[in-house]
Structure 1
Amino acid sequence: MEFDLIARHFTRPTPGAVLGVGDDCALVAPTSGMQLAVSSDMLLEGRHFAPQDSPAGIGHKSLAVNLSDLAAMGASPRWATLAIALPADDDAWLKAFARGFFRMADAHGIELVGGDTTRGALTISITVIGELPPGEALRRDGARPGDDVWVSGVIGSAATALAYRQGRLFMEQIDAAKVLPALYLPTPRVALGIALRGVAASAIDISDGLLADLGHILERSAVGAVVDLAALPTLPVLQRYLHESVARDCILAGGDDYELCFTAPAARRDAVLEAAARADTPVTRVGRITADPGLQVVGADGHALAITRTGYDHFAA
């Protein structure tokens, strides 16, 4: 049954690999002179998605969040493996999941070359492999005092959608409809990551919340930062809910955005904007790197705001 399942839903031609699905291991040949970038992510039902969520959407998101890690390193996607535990052999669910997964894979030229299946609580684990020129990876340890802090796209939408879905934030239905797609169908910024090679000094994808993820850059780079709350890019609809503390929390610490947060020298602002234009992705300058350690968020009056939460805790109850 396991091999029939794989053959029905997850076996496709893999012209970019030496050997794809069907053997004990896949065989891949990196482009000559390139380095490999490898990342894994796991999604659990009840933790990262709900039982009632669309299987096609889950397929899309499960690969998108992995591709976002490649984007944060400036890597070009090449191959992926998929390990999935299933409560039952639900053919209709798997067909829809595979449709969403391969739609995202085809959009970014990534091939599924292997994986595993078993019976158990619904769990999806994906490993992605990309490549990039040596010395051009966008790492977390490159931020320097005086650098600008940038964010791609808009942030806070996915966390706001989750707060609405969980009943923690009341929104008009017409407003909720504008933020829900960010939760279910995130867009990995692969083209921007590639365009920022040689321009950005450091980068990370925003998966656990802007402050938490920027904090990882600060820790690895041994620097601090000041972030301007008013500069943070959000959908206009979110501005109508900023009187609610949960809405501001979603913007600063909500997570699930899968946008890029990156730093670059102030002298390279034009180069950043040119890279963003090539990637057809908006970017916004939201702060600056400081020599003094710590992370401050300042309001319109220039005073630091009290921050009680920085991001998602994977081991919280």
Structure 2
Amino acid sequence: MPAVDVAGEFETIRRLFAPLAHPEWGRGLKDDVAVVPSKPGHDLVLTKDAIVEGVHFLPTDRLDTVAKKLLRVNLSDMAAKGAEAFGYLLACHWSERCGWPERMTFVDGLRVDQKAFGVALLGGDTVVTPGPASFSMTLLGWTPKGRTVARAGARVGDLVFVTGFIGDGWLGLQGAQDKLSLEPDRIAALVEQYRTPAPRVEFAPTIRDFASASIDVSDGLIADLGHMAEASGVRMEIDLELTPRSAAGQAWFDGRVDEQAALEKLVTGGDDYEIAFTARAADEAVLRREAEKRHLRLSRIGRVTAGQGVVARFAGQPVQIDRPGFTHG
């Protein structure tokens, strides 16, 4: 139950959310709409994600990390399109555990990440629910006109790349649920990645300039590559051994007897929020230089061929993956 009485909707907006509002476009959250001027020569890009307690975050998670995750998963979508975010609309469905201190904690997380990523609140809604807490965000951004990178566009002969590391999100969830047997610092690193993933916003311009198709890895690497392959009308052939692993992920992997099964868990677990994309083989060198400038790991994990779907290989042999990733209801 809430530790203190909770103020009503308008008091919550005035005291907590108004300070986060864009100084001009958000109208101080005192109107029913936000008014965003057009940006000449640019397309408006929108994305929306929702997270639900018990599904996307744990009931024991602090609400500042929940707020950060909500913003960051949206920023990950935006980065995969080569777009630059500037503002968001927010809907909060507070559960009974969300008293005034918890709501302040949620807003604290947003305040920190707004400053870190250069975005501002434009408007939204706040309500109370008898069910689990849930939050929804619509993020807005811009790309130069006609330059937004789609899932479609991968071409036969392209290479398949992924940023960062794969599997840490799934491993972090296991760690948060006390299901990992690793050194405490390894578990802590994985749990932090699960709760507050790092969207690759710094790589968005490179995606915009060089990617033929792109997607953020949220449901699982194999599942999301499947979405991109379907949209592009091609096949993606992936070498599981090339799956990039963090130091903590490698420590977990080193303890597995069945390497193939372990790799399958990493590439289907989801919650990584890296960018998977295709690009011309001739651009690999410049892509690696751009990644190095940003101290970002970039891995070539496969190739685009004629056909359909995703073919995963281990030791050169095709692998049957029955559950490629998380499926939303």
TM-score (norm 2): 0.90
Question: Bigger CA drift: 194-203 or 144-153?
Answer: 194-203
Counterpart of 1:26 in structure 2 is 34
Matching residue of 1:110: 119
Partner residue in 1 for 2:306: 291
CA distance in structure 2 between the partners assigned to 1:163 and 1:274 by the alignment: 34
Counterparts in 2 of 1:75-94, with a 5 A limit?
Answer: 75-88=83-96, 90-94=99-103
CA drift at 1:164: 3.8
Match of 2:252 in 1: 238
Q: Report the CA distance between 1:274 and its aligned residue.
A: 3.0
Q: Given the alignment, which residue of 186, 192, 198 partners 1:181? A: 192
**Structure 1 runs, 4 residues or longer, greater than 3 Å off:** 164-175, 244-247, 277-280
Cα distance in 1 for residues equivalent to 2:135 and 2:83: 22
Select 1:256's aligned residue among 271, 278, 296: 271
1:42 is aligned to 50
The equivalent residue for 1:277 is: 292
> Within 2, Cα distance between the matches of 1:280 and 1:74?
18
After superposition, give the CA deviation of every residue in 1:229-252 in whole Å (9 maximum; x if it has no partner). 111111132322443676433311
Equivalent runs, 1:176-215 vs 2, <5 Å: 176-215=187-226
Measured in 2, the distance between the counterparts of 1:294 and 1:87 equals: 41
Which amino acid counterpart does residue 239 of structure 1 have in structure 2? F
2:281 to 258, 266, 288: 266
1:73 matched to 2:81? The reply is yes
Give yes or no for the alignment of 1:154 onto 2:156.
no
* 1:168 CA drift (Å): 5.5
* Gap regions ≥5 residues in structure 1: none
Of the structure 1 ranges 19-28 and 125-134, higher mean CA displacement relative to structure 2 is found in 19-28
**Partner Cα separation in structure 1 for residue 177 and residue 261 of structure 2:** 12
289-298 vs 184-193, which moves further: 289-298
> Post-superposition shift, 1:276?
1.9
How many corresponding residue pairs? 314
Offset from partner CA, 1:185-212 (integer Å, 9 cap, x none): 1011111122221211110000000000
Residues 16 and 134 (structure 1), Cα distance of their counterparts in 2 relative to 1, 3 Å cut: farther
Q: Cα gap change, 1:237/1:225 in structure 2, threshold over 3 Å: closer, same or farther?
A: same
Q: Which amino acid aligns with 1:3?
A: F
Alpha-carbon RMSD: 1.8
Q: What 5-or-longer segments of structure 2 have no aligned partner? A: 1-7
Which deviates more from structure 2 when the two are superposed, residues 270-279 or residues 181-190?
270-279
Cα distance in structure 2, aligned partners of 1:276 and 1:167? 34
Matching of residue 224 in structure 1 with residue 235 in structure 2: yes
In 2, Cα distance between the equivalents of 1:43 and 1:223?
A: 31
Equivalent position of 1:135 in the other structure:
146
Deviations 1:246-277 (A, max 9, x none): 64333110000000000001011122123323
Alpha carbons of structure 1 residues 175 and 185: separation in structure 2 relative to 1, 3 Å = same
The AA in structure 1 aligned to 2:157 is G
- Distance in 1 between the 2:232 and 2:257 partners? 34
Secondary structure at the aligned position of 1:85 is classed as strand
Q: Secondary structure at the match of 1:96?
A: helix
SS in 1 for 2:301: strand
Aligned mate of 1:14, from 2, 5, 22 = 22
Contact 2:94 2:134 in 1 (8 A): yes
Inter-CA distance 165–109: structure 2 relative to 1 (3 Å threshold) = closer
Letter in 2 for 1:73: K
Identity of aligned pairs, percent?
Answer: 35
Distance across 1 between alignment mates of 2:38 and 2:252: 43
| 1:34/1:131 contact within 8 Å kept | yes
TM-score (norm 1): 0.93
For the Cα contact (< 8 Å) 2:180–2:187, is it kept in 1? Answer: no
Contact 1:241/1:247 (CA < 8 Å) preserved in 2? no
